Structures are given as C-alpha cells and as structure tokens.
Structure 1
C-alpha cells in the first residue's frame, strides 16, 4: 500500500490509494484519514461497533443530507462565491451518490495522527516495525481501538505486548526510551502499567548492565526521572555507584553549561527554560547521596560545577547550602579551576565568590572537628557501638586531606589576590580559616601575600601588617626566606623576623649534621658489640650500656654548649645589624646627628639607646617590633650553659 498527502480546506488529509473509493473518514486531531471500513473493522472491535451504529442510522442521515444538499444547491444558484469555497463538500456529495461515506472522530487518540497511521497500516496488512520508541504508543492505540486477540488473531495488542516484554523490558536503555514515549500517553500508559514496568525494569537492571545506557536518561522529563530515582533508591540491590552514575549522566545531559571544558548536551534532550533548568538542578541536588561516596562518580569537579550553575540559575538557598556541604566533603580532591566560582551577585564587588569558598572550607573543617570528636569518645563506648563509631570516623578528613586543602586554599588566595576590590579583612579571614597543621610550609601563603601587597599599594600600615602576619616565618623554606629578605614590599619588622628565623633554620641544620656525623660511629660500634656479645654476659652488657649512656650524655652536653655559643654569637650579630639599621633610619629622617666613634659594640648600643630615649618617647625597637637585647640574651645563655654544665659535671 502506498499513501499520498494533500491539503484541503479543513487541514491535512491522508488517502489510501488502493484503487477503490474510500467509504470512511477518520478525524484524528487535525488530520483526516480517508480509508475503507472493512480492513479496519476486521482488526478493531471499536471501529466495527461504531460503524455498525452509524449503519443503523444510515437512512435518516441520507434523507437529511439530501435536504441539506438541495438547500445548498438553491443557495448556490444565487451565490456562486460560496460554491467555489465548498469544493470539498461537492466531492463528498459525489462520493455519496456512489455510496455512503461514514465519518468517525478520535479527538483524544493516544499517540496522535502518526500512531493512528501506523495502526491503520497494520489493519491493511502492511508490515509494521516495532521499536522502543513506538511500542508504547502502539500498545495504547491497540487498547484504545480494541485490537485484541478476542476480536482477531495475531492482533496489534498481542504483538506490542510481546515486543515490550521480550525486548524492551530486558534492557534499561530500551526501557528508558519506551518510558520517554509514555510521557505523552498519560493516562493510557499508566492504566496499562507500561510506566511502572519500565521504571521497575530500569531499577532492576541498572546495576547489572553496562554504563552505555546512562546517557539515555537525559531524554526523560523531570517527573519520570524522579520516579526512576525513587525506584532505584527503594531497592537494596541497586549499587550506590549505579545511582550516582544515573544522576551524573542525567545532570550533564539536561543542564546546559554544567562543564567548562565540555559544553555538551544530548541532541535528544529537551530544551528547557531557565525556570525548568532551576527545577532540574534542585531535583538533582535532592537526589545526591547523603553519605560520602568514593568520589569516582560524583566527583569534586561535578559538585563544584553544580554549585557554579546554581549561582547562575539563582537556585534556592537550601539547594545551594546542600551543594556547599557536599562540595566540602570532596574538597581535598578539587582543583583550583573548580573553586574559581565567579560572583554573579550584584551585592559583591569581587570577581570571584570568596564567601562561597570560605563557607565550603568551614564546612570541611566542621566535618573534621566532628570526626575528631567521635574519635575521641570512641574509646569510652561499648564494643557494640565501636563499629558504628569507626564507620563515622572513617569519613573524617585525614591529615593528608587537610594538607591538600591547605595547598588549594593558598593557590586560591594567590589567584584572587590581584583583585583590586578584595578587602584585606576578607583576604585575611579566608587565610586564617585553616588551622596551622594544614600548611607544612607557608610558601604558598607568602606568595599570595606578596601578590596582594603588589596589587594593593595603597594599604595603610596597619592593614599591611595584618596581611603580613598571615605568614609564619618559621615555616618558610630557604628559597622563600631568600626572596622575603630582599622583598621591598614587606615591612621592616617582617624582614627582620625572616632573617632571624632563617638563621635559626641554619643553626638547626648545622646541629643536625653534627649529631648525625658524631652519632653514626658510636651506633655502628654499639651494633657490632651486640652482634659479637656472648649470650652468657648479660651483667657485663648492663655495665656497658650504662657507660654508653654516660658517654652519650657527655657528648650531648658538648653539642648543647656549641649550640648555645652559636646562638649567643648570632644574637649579638643581629643586635649589631639592628643598631646599624637604626642609625641609617635616623639619618634618613633627619633627626640624627653625627655618630660618635664606638668604643665597643656593647658600649655603642648603650649610648645610642640612651640618646634615643632622650629624643623620642618610643624607641625604634618598639616601633619596629624588635625585642632583642644583648644583655638579656647573654645572661640567659650563660645561665643555661651553667645549669647544663652543673648537671653534667662539666665546667662551661
């Protein structure tokens, strides 16, 4: 059978060109189907019943049509314009002379004209190919037209049902396509149980099947997606990883702009408005697992992308708060690109949303504090509750995760430091949010501070000091100390602290080298004695151990003396350097006078201190935060050495 289409005055028409004139017209929405009654009556009980009812009323209809036709002819003789406009009625009158034409209207036909056309072809004996997309509409159409086995063998309802059970419901991807086709078939598909069977098939097969079908979920509307996720959550045999994969695939396929690097949306995914996208995003957030997963599927990149999109779509505060808490659970796996969330609110002047990142960091720290509290109380609970406490504390961020977060925050600070609208208080607040053990070295925060000072040259002295106090000079590497000692943007106090702690690091390194070089031969000798010591000489071994301990104590005291002498000498050098700096500052300010020839370093310091006390109320030491004193350091060093020497039985 072949078909042809033409346009008439009352819309589109579909004709069956079998060589015989059509005797029945079906009106399905805006389409007219000119068909033959016998093929359709043989397959559809409903069409058979409706045509038989019209057949019984045929004589009265024919007489009424003839009267209407006569009146129309008389009016047409006087109004030729109306005759030209009613060509379709003249064709129908011509068909009426040959045989009566029946008319049946299906305004609510499931699946629309396309499905009715396929069902009509099936009635004419044309081979119909069933797919996951059309099996649902054809099953509903067969039920609507009563094309069942009771009326005719091998009918459309049986074929569609067999294909649905044997092919569609055995694969989650095919069931997803059929479920999508049912969205426009409600309530017919719901009454036939097609929707429930497809949803259950997806939930049952989601864990066993491969992940290739996950992208098919993007074709589902929000109501059907919620039903699928609810069915998967209700089943205990569905793995959490499968649920997370379905969630991520649906979000990436339906929410545009979710990824910076891969802005893709499936061609079959419906295009939604901003309100619909906001509703989709909030539904995805509500479907996120409550417990912390492995992070392989619901990754930190995905969570921060959702958070960024939530800001763009102006999602609800509850949804954004939930996303911030979920992102905090994966913060140790995030990258700098993930946390760079642009500020879309007109209330903030900064380029990036610093407040959002700070809230995420504080959620991370709160989770760690909760984990530490559980771990501290786990020793006092019973053995039955110990397993539950271990499970709870297992999700606590580890020390390694804390270090990763520290590096991430330092990188973020360096990135936002160049923003001219970033206030010093906000910069310091985020930097101080992390505890001390989050940073092994302060090189990262020093780099951020240096960038901030360079981008904000008009800071007050107080603001500059507060920013520089973020850096712990004791945790700077040698490279960072070298850079800081020559950094003109740092205040003098900060430079002095860097120089002082750099010397302390150098001293510790020298001390460690001396201990290692002196302790290695003694350790080798002690191991050699243990290897060759007879088993029967236990008492003699105890005496040797005591002598070895005394020898080690004497050696430790000697190293301590060297250490204290080195410290005293270095403090004196720093005092002389400070004195030189003080004289240079007085010359620059124009308030100093020609320096007298120093008799000695200590005498010169005393005279300058007296002169400074007479000229200014506050000394330069209090102004620049330097609190070194050669007398105090010397006496303290001597007391320590003397006490150590007295305990060891040695003279200083």
Structure 2
C-alpha cells in the first residue's frame, strides 16, 4: 500500500540538504530565535507527508486527542485517518503492521477500537482463503524460477512465496506480543477455526519464544530468533501475566487429568538450571489440582468414609481417581531412571495419590524397583522410607514372587512380602478345605464315611 499524501501546499517548499526553503512568499508560522539568529519555520514541512500502515494508528490517536474533526475543517485528520484505516483493514500485511504499532499507544487505540478492528480483520483473513487477499500460491509454478525464486512481472526475486495451507499465517502472527497474540487466537477460534489448527499455531508460537522447544535448531538460528524477539526485555507485568496463564493452564489440565495418557505428562524441563529431564514440579502441581477438585467433589456428595479413609461409595466415583493413580504410577516408572531425581520429590509425587485409589500396588512397586535400580547409593533407611509408599498386602501373585527375590528391597520388606504371601496361601488352602467339606456334606448328608451299603 503506497499511502496517503497530506499537506495541501507541499509544492510550495523544496529541500536543500537538511533545510526546508519556501519557494513562495508565504509568511512563516513559527519563529525561533537563538542568540542573534532567527529561524523562520512553516507548519507544512512539519506535517507528515504520507499516511502509512506504520503511522496511521498514532495519527488517528493524536487526531482524536486534538479533536481534529470535520467541525473544525473539511478533510481533517480524523476523517483522513479513518479512511486510510479502512484501506489497511482490507490487507493482511498492513493490518498486522497497524496492530503491532498499537502497543505504543495502547490505551488510546483501545478506546478507539482500533486494536479490536485490526484483530477482527486478521481473524477473518486467517480463516478465509488466503488467495482472496492477494497472497501468491506456493504451488504456482508460473511464479517460480528454476532456482526456486519467485517471478513477478519478469523479475527474479529471492522472496519465497508463502504457503496457502491452514498454517500459512503461523509465522506471520508469531511476532505479535503475547497479549495481542492471545486476543487474535480467541478471535480466530470464534470464527470457527479448527482446534487442531489453533493448537498447531500455539506450538509454533511457543517454539519461537521458549528455549529448547526446537532442540534441532542450530545455535546461530537460536541467536537470530532471540535477537528478533522482545522476550529478553519482557516487563515484570508481562512476566506475571505469563505465569498466571501457565497457572490457569495447569488447572485446566488438572481438571481432566483422568483423561490423559502417559505421554501427555512427559513435559521436557525447559529451565536453564536443568536438574531432571522432565518437569516433575509441573506434574506435581497438576496432580495437586486434580486431588483438590476430587476431594471437593467427594465432600459435596457426602460419601461414607471409614477410618482408613477408604471411600465406600459407588464404583463410578472411584474410577477417575483409579485411572489417575495408574497414570501416576506409570509416570513414576518413566522418570525413575533419572539419576537427578531426588528421593523426596519422588516420594512427594507418589504420596499425593491415596492408598485406597490403587486396587493393586503392582504399578507403584514397579516404579520403586526402577528407582532403586537407578539409585544404588541409597541407604537402608532411605530404601525403607521409599518402600513405605506401597502396601505389600496389595501385590499380585506375580509381583509378590518378584519382590520375594528382589535383592534391592530391604530385608524387612522382603519378610513382609513373604509373610503376606504365606497368609494368602493359607487363606486359599483354608477356603479350599471349606468348600471341599461343604461339597462332601452335600453328597453325604447322613455323615456316614464308609462306602455305600448295597
């Protein structure tokens, strides 16, 4: 977009070097005296010569502040700026440029609804066919030279044509600030964009600003991206807003944790002082949110609770908690080989899930066994503390047989496993004899033990 020229008498002046000279006999509007020197200035050279997408927002806000309406004069600045904004909103690139400049005058641009109009313009174009607003097709061979460059009007250019799939706008909007990007995504979602496409855009945006998201990128590429972003100079308010967004996201994940699978919880640790491979603290917070929601729901439904804390309400109420317990056990087994995983952190995460949530303790036993194998330097006291997370009575026959021969377990735990295994065997034998006696009594109700008489 070329822009709109301003100033009715621009032809009355010419420029020599850095000095504007009046070619007509117009009187000066401003006189500045410095010592014995007088500088005669005119207002027309001080007026912006052209309205562009980069200055139209500032001009519109300034015109509103100065009340430059049609009542003061025909063709005043407000009318000119509004007319040019209408042209800006018809073009994707200019709409994006105008939106980026809104941050400089955000309160005024918000009051004049310029931000919302820019966002609505971009949202409509992102949801629509990009060919409707003059974006070249990536697959159009007539626009490309044999070397892959684009051909416009017979001129070779190194500019690559943008893709016209659903993801063509990802890179375009990734330069927006988090505040503007969030508003744009909400507007695009309201237009009916597929959630998969929106999620892919968010991943692309995060990969540009978050470290280690793209581990395969070269060091030079990373430096190039970081130098072009404003994250290094993020204000304290923006950081607080970002942390608040992360907290809200973790709560939303925690509210539906029973629907997650193991791979969903394997969140890479993005911190600069990386201790563990995966972000254990994040999973801990998500699990805490889930348990707080579950306990609140359980209290509101007033289930019957026995002394051990076991819920004896219906099976359906235990299902989400049991699913989360199995998920946590699988997660613990996955992160247990990490030698940097501290014992206290492992215990804290495992202890969040109550004992009654696990019908069997095979999962937590497997996680404990993996942790002991990866941390052979643990003392006997630490091993016993770790094994208190499982209930030996709730091990299956296969797990009990494995634990009875597991040299990594403390001796006291092995003795407990053998004791409960023997108790289970004795109970089974007693039950077998009880059933056998009842069967004999049924077949021989008279109690005669000899062979039947003929």
TM bucket, shorter chain: 0.5 to 0.7
SS in 2 for 1:403: helix
1:369 to 295, 299, 305: 295
**Structure with more helix by fraction:** 1
SS in 2 for 1:361: helix
Counterpart of 1:32? Answer: 18
Distance in 1, matches of 2:385 and 2:179, equals 54
Structural mapping, 1:443-454, within 5 Å: 443-454=362-373
Distance in 1, matches of 2:228 and 2:60, equals 24
CA contact (8 A) 2:15 2:21 kept: yes
Distance in 2, matches of 1:334 and 1:413, equals 10
Counterpart of 1:283? Answer: 241
Counterpart of 2:263? Answer: 335
Distance in 2, matches of 1:190 and 1:362, equals 38
CA contact (8 A) 1:23 1:35 kept: yes
Q: Does 1:486 align with 2:405?
A: yes
Distance in 1, matches of 2:36 and 2:351, equals 92
Shift of 1:252: 2.5
Shift of 1:639: 6.1
Counterpart of 2:210? Answer: 256
**Ranges in structure 2 where 5+ consecutive residues have no aligned partner:** 1-10, 128-165, 304-315, 450-454
Counterpart of 1:559? Answer: none
Distance in 2, matches of 1:183 and 1:446, equals 55
Specify whether residues 224 and 36 from structure 1 end up closer, same or farther in structure 2 by C-alpha distance, changes over 3 A only: farther
Specify whether residues 493 and 174 from structure 1 end up closer, same or farther in structure 2 by C-alpha distance, changes over 3 A only: same
Shift of 1:466: 4.2
CA contact (8 A) 2:261 2:327 kept: no
Specify whether residues 493 and 240 from structure 1 end up closer, same or farther in structure 2 by C-alpha distance, changes over 3 A only: same
Structural mapping, 1:519-534, within 5 Å: none
Structural mapping, 1:158-173, within 5 Å: 161-165=82-86, 167-169=87-89
Task: Please give the per-residue CA displacement for 1:426-467, whole angstroms capped at 9, x wherever unaligned.
Answer: 54443232245755654442232223333244523x543443
SS in 1 for 2:296: helix
Shift of 1:103: 3.0
Root-mean-square deviation (CA), in Å?
6.1
CA contact (8 A) 2:368 2:387 kept: yes
Counterpart of 1:271? Answer: 230
Specify whether residues 333 and 168 from structure 1 end up closer, same or farther in structure 2 by C-alpha distance, changes over 3 A only: farther
CA contact (8 A) 2:277 2:338 kept: no
**Ranges in structure 1 where 5+ consecutive residues have no aligned partner:** 1-19, 26-30, 39-50, 70-88, 90-100, 110-115, 120-129, 289-305, 307-319, 378-395, 508-562, 569-632
Distance in 1, matches of 2:200 and 2:367, equals 40
Specify whether residues 34 and 497 from structure 1 end up closer, same or farther in structure 2 by C-alpha distance, changes over 3 A only: same
Structural mapping, 1:308-319, within 5 Å: none
Distance in 2, matches of 1:491 and 1:185, equals 67
Specify whether residues 170 and 402 from structure 1 end up closer, same or farther in structure 2 by C-alpha distance, changes over 3 A only: farther
Q: How many residues align?
A: 376
Q: More relative contact order in 1 or in 2 (CA 8 Å, sep 6+)?
A: 2
Task: Please give the per-residue CA displacement for 1:526-583, whole angstroms capped at 9, x wherever unaligned.
Answer: xxxxxxxxxxxxxxxxxxxxxxxxxxxxxxxxxxxxx98xx43xxxxxxxxxxxxxxx
**Structure-2-length-normalised TM-score:** 0.56
Q: Does 1:325 align with 2:251?
A: yes
Shift of 1:647: 6.5
Specify whether residues 436 and 239 from structure 1 end up closer, same or farther in structure 2 by C-alpha distance, changes over 3 A only: farther
Shift of 1:199: 1.4
**Structure-1-length-normalised TM-score:** 0.42
